[in-house]
Structure formats: structure tokens, C-alpha cells
Amino acid sequence: MRLHRVQALGPNGLTEPRDVDLPVDHADVDATGLVLSPGWCDLHAHLREPGFPEKETLATGAAAAAAGGFTQVVAMANTQPVTDTADRLRANLARARDLPVRVMFVGALTEGLEGRRPTDAVALQAAGAVALSDDGRHALDLQTLVGALQHASATGLPVLIHPQDESLGSQPEAELAAVEQAVAALRQVPRARLHLQHVSLAAALPMIAKAKRDGLALTAEVTPHHLWLTEDALRRWGPLAKVNPPLRTEADVAALRGALIDGTIDIVATDHAPHQAAAKRDAETAAPGISGFETAAGMLLTLRLPWPVLYRACVALPRAILGIPLSPDWILIDPAETWAVEPDRFLSRGRNTPMTGTRLSGRVRITICHDRVVHHAEVPVG
Ligand SMILES: [Zn+2]
């Protein structure tokens, strides 16, 4: 496959247009105005298998990831059963073998995500875990977290923390307390590597910046929805805008955008959290989460983030955090295509998004993984 006049995305932004040959069996493409990027890597997704096929399966999740431009995806451990043993990790990897994109798995940090006994980090790593995380829960006290970090540091695996102290609910204090606790734990185990998931508050950013200045191995992520939406979305969308951590204020959104650009926040991760319609109906009992794979790239491109920031946040640093090399997978982006979000057309089983009808500019046109075209969007007429 030859791409004519394509601009390539790298650490310094976009190259001048040139012709590029890819080892893929596919017709040539006039890529004038299009951007060729290494496949994006999503450090944070819920693929719901095993246990919740009504929400997503590995197959539907991987198809949605491909449509969103993610060729590498890390699946969280809050499945049924929880991925907290080497056998379960190996079973997940066996199920994921023939998917269109590369799906990796975290092992739970504590047994059953209960925040009490650390899992066997060495065995999980040997089985193929790429990180450790209790994501979805945060029931650890400081002492337990320090112990879990010590186990993890023996393996070199990063620990991904869902910083939301369960005992404090979803108030801002819950996130600030958990970020403070995580940094305090890392100070006690400076050989560990700690990553803060879905940071949502401006007030958390100075703590993260200070820990980084102090030389701690701390990284942080933000989701596309926390870069876009405020608590106003709850009034309009009700349960569809219910997510953990909650959508915050305009000032938080502005601060998060600035922190992503200045590097206080290292990466963007989707926290793709698909649910069936019934789980999102009732305001009181609705499950938290947003189906994120298929809107992420459009949301980020619409923000017109500098290209080197997109490369760092979606290509380079997610892999650096995992300690894995860039895979030879590619996506072709049309930064000018405008489109409206239509969840009925998602490949994910989760159509739960508060972005319905929003016009985005920028879309993933083609995704190439394992030297195959695994996604090819129809080109709009006119
Ligand atoms: Zn989480």
C-alpha cells in the first residue's frame, strides 16, 4: 500500500507531505491532507470479558478500539472473576490472541480489588501482566499501598492508581486525598513506578507537579471526557454523563488542558467503560462510565492540541510507562473531517456517551495492525 503525499506524525509534530510505502495488501491511497501516525496506545480500558458480555466482549471492544485508532489497549482487572491470579491472566491472554488489535492486561494490585492482601506480582508478571491496578476500586490504606508498591517494585511493573478514596465518595476531597496518599506511598518506596489514572481536578495538579520536581517516578493521565465536559453535562444527559471521577467545573477542564500541554499530565487514556442501556437508565442506580474508544481521537483532534503533545500523550508515553516498544502499527487520520457522534453506529456494545450529536473535527480513517487493515471508515460524500 502506497500513501501519496501523507504527513507523518512524530515527536516533533508533522513532516512535510511525502509518499510512504506500508507493507500492507491494500489499494494505494491519495493521502493529501491526511496524517500517518503510529497506532495509538490506550493505557486504560474496560473490556468486560470475562463476566459482562451484555456490556462488551474482547471482540467488540477490540473492534471499537481499532475504529478509534488504538492498536494497543490495556484492559483493567475488574472483570468477573477479577484478574488477580496468574492463571486468570493467562486465560485472558489466550482469549485475546486473535483480536484485530493488541490487547494487554493488568493484574489486580490486591486480591479481589479489596485493598487488603497484595496479589502475587511476580507470578502475574510472569503470566504476562503489563501493570498492576485495582482500577474501579480504591480501598487501600496507606500502609497497604506501601506494601503493594514494595511487591510491585520487585517486578518493575507500573502501578496504576484509581485515585478516589472510597470512604469519601466522589467528592473532590476523595480524589485529593487519594492523590496525596499515592504520592506519600511513592515517597516511601521510591523504586516503585506509580501512575495516576483519570486525574480530574485542578487542585490535584500542583501535588503531581511537585512530586515530579522531587524526582519521583510518577506519571498521570487525563480522559478525553474530562478535557471536554463539565458537570453541566449531567443536567443535560443525566445517567449518561455519570462517570468516576465525576465531571467537574470549567476551571478544572481548563487546568487539565493546560497540564496536558505543559507535561504535568503525561498521557490521555480513554477509561473506555461500556454499559448496556439498562445499566444507564436510572439516575440513582446508573453504573458510572462512558464508552470512549470511538470518540477519543475526534475529541482530542477537535481541541487542536499541538501535534507533539498528541504524539507524546497517545503514542510515546503510554508505551514508555509500560516499558514496551512502539509496535509497527499505523493509523491514518483525517484532521479535517467533521462528523457527528452517533452511538448507534459504534462497534462497541456500549452506546453510553454524553457526546451524542456533538460535531467533531478529525477522524481516524484507516487502522493497520499486524500488517492488516483492521478498520477502514467510509469516506463521506461531498
Ligand atoms: Zn478508574
Per-residue model confidence as pLDDT tens digits over 141-159: 999 999 999 999 999 999 9
- What is the rounded CA–CA span in Å between residue 352 and residue 290? 6
Residue identified by cell 487542585 is 203
Residue identified by cell 507531505 is 17
User: What is the reported pTM?
Assistant: 0.97
Asked if 272 and 61 touch (Cβ cutoff 8 Å), the reply is yes
- What is the rounded CA–CA span in Å between residue 364 and residue 380? 13
pLDDT along the chain (382 residues), means of 10: 97 98 94 98 98 98 98 98 98 97 98 97 98 96 97 97 94 97 98 98 98 98 98 97 97 98 98 98 94 98 98 98 96 97 98 98 97 87 51
Residue 199 CA to ligand 1 center (angstroms) comes to: 10
Can you give the pLDDT at residue 378? Answer: 76
Asked if 184 and 163 touch (Cβ cutoff 8 Å), the reply is no
Can you give the pLDDT at residue 382? Answer: 47
Residue 165 CA to ligand 1 center (angstroms) comes to: 11
283 CB contacts (<8 Å, ≥6 apart)?
Answer: 238, 239, 242
Residue identified by cell 486480591 is 111
Residue 322 CA to ligand 1 center (angstroms) comes to: 18
Check 134, 165, 271, 334 and give the catalytic one. 271
Residue 221 CA to ligand 1 center (angstroms) comes to: 11
Residue 219 CA to ligand 1 center (angstroms) comes to: 15
In a domain, 9, yes or no: no
Q: How many CB atoms lie within 10 A of CB 260?
A: 25
CATH number, domain of 134, equals 3.20.20.140
Domain total in the chain: 1
- What is the rounded CA–CA span in Å between residue 242 and residue 10? 35
In a domain, 11, yes or no: no
Vertex 121: Cα angle to 116 and 126 (nearest 5): 155
Residue 271 CA to ligand 1 center (angstroms) comes to: 7
In a domain, 68, yes or no: yes
Per-residue model confidence as pLDDT tens digits over 252-284: 999 999 999 999 999 999 999 999 999 999 988
Can you give the pLDDT at residue 149? Answer: 97
Residue 162 CA to ligand 1 center (angstroms) comes to: 5
Residue 244 CA to ligand 1 center (angstroms) comes to: 6
Q: Which domain holds residue 161?
A: 39-325
Residue 138 CA to ligand 1 center (angstroms) comes to: 9
In a domain, 330, yes or no: no
Residue 97 CA to ligand 1 center (angstroms) comes to: 25
Q: Is residue 84 among the annotated active site residues?
A: no
- What is the rounded CA–CA span in Å between residue 307 and residue 36? 12
In a domain, 377, yes or no: no
In a domain, 266, yes or no: yes
Tell me if residue 165 falls in helix, strand or coil. coil
